[in-house]
Amino acid sequence: MLNGPTVLRNIIWSLRRSEHWMIHGANGSGKSTFLRLLRGELWPVPNRGYRIYCLDGSTQMTAIEVKRHIALVSPETQERYLQQDWLMTGRDVIHTGFAQSDMLYVKLTRAQKRQAEALAAKLGIAPLLPRDMQTLSTGELRKILIARAVVGSPRILLLDEVCDGLDARFRGELLRMIETIAKGGTQIVYTTHRDDEVLSIITHVAEFEDGHLRQAGRGVLTAPPKIRVESKDIAPTRRTEDSAPCHNATPLICIENADVFLDRQKVLHGIDWQLWRGEHWVVLGANGAGKTTFLKLIASDLYPMFGARVSRFEFTADNTIWDLRRRIGCVSPLLQTHYREQITAEEVVASGFFSSVGLMDVPTASQLRKVRKLMREFDLQQLRDKSMNSLSFGELRKILTLRALVHEPELLILDEPFDGLDTASKRDFAAALEAVAARGTQLLVVTHHLDDLPRCMTHGLFLESGRIVIAGEWSRTRIHPKVMRLFGK
């Protein structure tokens, strides 16, 4: 059980020596809960089931002594580190992996320190070691957490959508590294929604559906069945002629000569960019290129150094940040990390009216009707009364997107919106975003997977080391040599 409702039911499963498992299933099917159960972070319901470990030749039902042999990397692991606002460097985080604890409570030996440095060098993340964990990008922190998981040479490595947020080059390197770890004797239990992230070392496959283990056994994971997704019937709320690109007026957003610093380091350099009405932009770049910082600059969550000029809509000094929040909707991994409240999915969506984390006021009847209409349009009404903390990672991502749409914003900023979504949900979500764009909302999307993008994207921007390399029409940007190289094409 998880926060009240039963998430897994009648599970019978075992892991034997030399087995490597792929866990498959749709969003909300119970995959992540299953991995947490394996590691001992969750317990079976008393008197209704049991869990037995035989890692050192003896049999035990408690997970206390075996946790150091079982490492887990998941989106929730990353969220836990960010939620606590711990003052830790990348090096500190990796060092905690020797004891599989959140904080370092014992003094490391010189050999352990050398081992951590060597691993960081092997993974190409040595420059991240002295960085404050809170300033790392999603992909950079994911790399640090992966190093943390493997530095202590665990017997079993549990990986939950571990490639989310990583660029194509590092995904390939990571998958090869996992296979090398597996060949060295560590057993892998692995979930992914993407066909191109399947590991060749997988020996067994389990399929979850609505909390039930539908099938499990030896085999090779095949691509999930193709599911036809129809565009959502979302009525336009703005004139469709307004959506055509138009450069005859003032740009909606204009950034000139912007430098942005984080943790005393310059992350963005001399940014010049404009958003015109009717444009939908894709933002590309490797991990650490500055994509998330660029989005925060646009949303006014970060400010540039003196000398830059940033204008948003027709705003003047008399406008407030709340005026901006009604015009720009944002969905990001950081929002999902910090949005942890004991409220329902419907209340999460309604909180968008107040731009709050949690429901700070009582929504009106009119606002609730709008929330329910939006949930029906996106086929999420079945989540309406579910506790936010019982939602899967992918389900919460969808709900937070609806939260950003309640104001019918002119610009919707989406940072890796497809991460954590299963194949059918990605297609469904892309179709829904196309419908949102058709009714007048402009899109600004960061992604590491071009195939996920909705078809309405018109322009693209490529960042490298905090600088814009190319910005222009999407048909031209996507074939730029640096873009092709980033995506291995």
Higher pLDDT, 394 or 70: 70
In sign, the C-alpha dihedral spanning 279, 481, 469, 138 is: positive
Q: Which of 181, 125, 183, 186 is nearest to 154 (CA)?
A: 186
Residue-by-residue DSSP string for 389-404: GGS-HHHHHHHHHHHH
pLDDT at 232 over 60: no
Measured CA to CA in angstroms, residue 223 lies from 174, 210, 219, 405 at distances of: 21, 20, 13, 32
Contact in structure between 163 and 192 (CB atoms under 8 Å): yes
**Per mean pLDDT, which range of 48-57, 92-101, 143-152, 268-277 is the poorest?**
48-57
For residue 357 the two structure tokens come to 């984390």
With bands split at pLDDT 50, 70 and 90, how would you rate the model's confidence at 19? very high
- Provide the pLDDT for residue 483: 94
With bands split at pLDDT 50, 70 and 90, how would you rate the model's confidence at 193? confident
Q: How far apart are CA 379 and CA 486, in angstroms?
A: 34
Q: How far apart are CA 30 and CA 212, in angstroms?
A: 8
Q: Which of 195, 217, 196 is nearest to 207 (CA)?
A: 217
Integer Rg of the chain from CA: 23
The H or E element that residue 120 is part of is: helix 110-123
Q: Which amino acid is at 386?
A: K
- Provide the pLDDT for residue 4: 58
How many Å from the N-terminal Cα to the C-terminal Cα in the chain?
45
- Provide the pLDDT for residue 367: 93
Tens-digit pLDDT profile for residues 383-400 = 999 988 888 878 888 899
pLDDT at 352 over 50: yes
pLDDT at 115 over 50: yes
Domains present along the chain, CATH in parentheses: 21-218 (3.40.50.300), 248-486 (3.40.50.300)
pLDDT at 322 over 90: no
The H or E element that residue 377 is part of is: helix 365-377
pLDDT at 160 over 80: yes
Assign 388 to helix, strand or coil. Answer: helix
Residue 84 CB: number of other CB atoms within 10 A? 13
pTM, 2 dp: 0.81
Q: Which of 257, 268, 272, 315 is nearest to 291 (CA)?
A: 268
Structure-token match 């984080």, residue found:
262
Contact in structure between 350 and 371 (CB atoms under 8 Å): yes
For residue 220 the two structure tokens come to 């090779």
pLDDT at 55 over 70: yes
Higher pLDDT, 243 or 284: 284
pLDDT at 226 over 50: no
* Mean predicted lDDT score pLDDT of the chain: 86
Contact in structure between 267 and 135 (CB atoms under 8 Å): no
- Provide the pLDDT for residue 245: 57
Q: How far apart are CA 195 and CA 218, in angstroms?
A: 18
- Provide the pLDDT for residue 234: 45
pLDDT at 382 over 80: yes
What is the signed CA dihedral for 209, 211, 217, 219, rounded to 10 degrees?
40
**Per mean pLDDT, which range of 69-73, 322-326, 359-363, 439-443 is the poorest?**
322-326
Q: Which of 155-169, 219-233, 245-259, 332-346 has the highest mean pLDDT?
A: 155-169
pLDDT at 456 over 90: yes
